[in-house]
């Protein structure tokens, strides 16, 4: 086997094994974008195949088949592919496009012992459940960077336990990911009142607000000021929006191209190579590069699509966190308030298999604590000075309360409580007059309380 695993990938695999030993049948492994989940599930599949098991690996996009297939080949695992244009074969490991598999279900005569589900946050959709319910007794292994559905519902219907890999901040500390500098200039677009459908803003409505020359022009100015000539990926709301943004970049002398769902595979590869080589500075996309897109050379993400989906946000910014030579930090230019909505890419997340929607309806999601520097627009966690330009930060009243801490709050509470107690203990007018004297209140205060109590009796 020639797959080289990183220490945390070994660790994840041994934790998965432990969870199966403890009785899990369908664990969901959470690995941040860029942590190499394809390598991990390829190694698991290789191990299962070596013990004579049948493994079915489900992916939901064609380009993910190529990735998985290449990693399996690297691990020396002979495998077949179930996708349009590939002949059926009988190897014990099969990589399947979920759409093709759903169409061919009735013609498949073998049963997998293990079903691996890549990008497992999609696994509750109709095509997936058809494939999964065909083999209810197979063990499952889900892998995802964001174990929530786009609509916020949990994945507890498909998986029975969570195995958490390293966090983004641990991967940054280990130099497996690049730290990010985030700029969040006040959005020029009017995003108030955007409506959501299935847990996210309606793309056409978001596009209408974002696809305006003044908004695009502002984003390009910030790009030229903050990261001119750096390789960037721009995330737009719609194909038409991407076309306008692409045109505007080129008109301003920045070499840009669009990379869309309809872009043929060979042209995609060509564009990615051009970006890596510096022949292009900017790739403009909608969501084709959100998942399964590898371009470590990309140094900046420009966010022009407001999203309520934490998963989509993390997938997008995750594209530029991959380390590469000469890249000391990734830049994220957020023009749509996503950082304020979802927090920093390396914030610790409290993942769960439960429906987040239910929880957030009651409690509301915790608002991330993000400050924006008034001078350079850097977004940072509350700190006395801007970490980018050193400007002293003006703290909001809420942040001052948070910074000076619970202690002061508690102290105030304790004083208030003890005061209520000594007023409560003062039974007679004479005792109330004594409390008033001790606190420097007027005698009238004692009379008012005494009268109020007499009236109540
Ligand atoms: Zn600053």
pLDDT value of residue 412:
46
- Ligand 1 centroid to 385 CA: how many Å? 8
Residues 336 and 340: their CA atoms lie apart, in Å, by 9
Domain ranges for the chain, please list them: 7-167, 176-347+364-394, 406-456
- Ligand 1 centroid to 375 CA: how many Å? 5
pLDDT value of residue 2:
67
pLDDT < 70 stretches in the chain: 1-2, 150-152, 288-293, 356-368, 395-421, 440, 455-457
- Ligand 1 centroid to 372 CA: how many Å? 8
378-380 and 55-59 strand pairing: unpaired
- Ligand 1 centroid to 259 CA: how many Å? 33
- Ligand 1 centroid to 369 CA: how many Å? 16
* Fold entry, domain 7-167: Rossmann fold (3.40.50)
Indicate the average pLDDT of the chain. Answer: 85
- Ligand 1 centroid to 376 CA: how many Å? 4
- Ligand 1 centroid to 414 CA: how many Å? 38
- Ligand 1 centroid to 368 CA: how many Å? 19
- Ligand 1 centroid to 174 CA: how many Å? 27
pLDDT value of residue 390:
85
Residues 372 and 344: their CA atoms lie apart, in Å, by 12
CATH number of 176-347+364-394: 3.40.50.300
Q: Which residues surround ligand 1, an ion (CB under 5 A)?
A: 373, 375-376, 378, 386, 388-389, 391
């Amino acid at each position: 086997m020639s797959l080289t695993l990183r220490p945390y990938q070994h660790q994840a695999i041994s934790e998965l094994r432990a969870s199966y030993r403890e009785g899990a049948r369908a664990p969901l492994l959470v690995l941040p974008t860029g942590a190499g989940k394809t390598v991990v599930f390829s190694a698991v599949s290789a191990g299962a195949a070596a013990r004579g098991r049948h493994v079915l690996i489900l992916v939901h996009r064609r380009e993910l088949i190529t990735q998985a297939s290449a990693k399996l080949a690297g691990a020396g695992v002979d495998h077949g592919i179930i996708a349009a244009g590939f002949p059926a074969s009988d190897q014990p490991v099969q990589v399947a496009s979920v759409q093709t598999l759903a169409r061919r279900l009735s013609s498949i005569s073998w049963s997998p012992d293990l079903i691996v589900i890549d990008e497992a946050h999609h696994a509750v959709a109709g095509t997936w459940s058809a494939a999964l319910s065909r083999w209810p007794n197979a063990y499952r292994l889900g892998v995802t960077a964001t174990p929530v559905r786009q609509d916020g519902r949990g994945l507890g219907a498909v998986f029975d336990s969570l195995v958490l890999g390293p966090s983004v901040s641990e991967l940054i500390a280990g130099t497996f990911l690049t730290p990010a500098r985030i700029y969040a200039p006040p959005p020029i677009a009017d995003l108030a009142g955007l409506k959501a459908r299935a847990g996210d803003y309606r793309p056409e409505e978001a596009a209408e607000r974002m696809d305006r020359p003044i908004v695009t022009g502002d984003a390009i100015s910030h790009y030229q000021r903050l990261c001119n000539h750096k390789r960037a990926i721009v995330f737009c709301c719609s194909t038409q929006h991407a076309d306008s943004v692409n045109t505007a970049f080129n008109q301003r002398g920045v070499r840009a191209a669009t990379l869309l769902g309809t872009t043929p595979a060979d042209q995609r590869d060509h564009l990615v190579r051009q970006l890596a080589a510096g022949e292009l500075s900017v790739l403009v996309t909608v969501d084709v590069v959100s998942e399964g897109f590898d371009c470590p050379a990309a140094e900046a993400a420009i966010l022009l699509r407001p999203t309520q989906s934490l998963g989509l946000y993390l997938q997008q910014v995750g594209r530029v966190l991959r380390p590469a030579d000469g890249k000391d930090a990734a830049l994220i230019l957020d023009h749509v308030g996503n950082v304020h909505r979802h927090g920093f890419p390396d914030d610790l997340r409290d993942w769960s298999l439960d429906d987040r929607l239910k929880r957030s309806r009651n409690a509301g999601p915790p608002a991330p604590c993000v400050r924006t520097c008034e001078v350079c627009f850097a977004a940072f966690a509350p700190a006395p000075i801007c970490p980018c330009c050193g400007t002293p930060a003006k703290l909001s009243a809420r942040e001052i309360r948070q910074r000076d801490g619970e202690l002061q709050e508690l102290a105030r509470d304790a004083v208030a409580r003890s005061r209520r107690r000594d007023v409560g203990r003062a039974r007679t007018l004479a005792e109330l007059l004594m409390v008033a004297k001790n606190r420097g209140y007027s005698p009238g205060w004692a009379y008012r309380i005494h009268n109020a109590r007499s009236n109540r009796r």
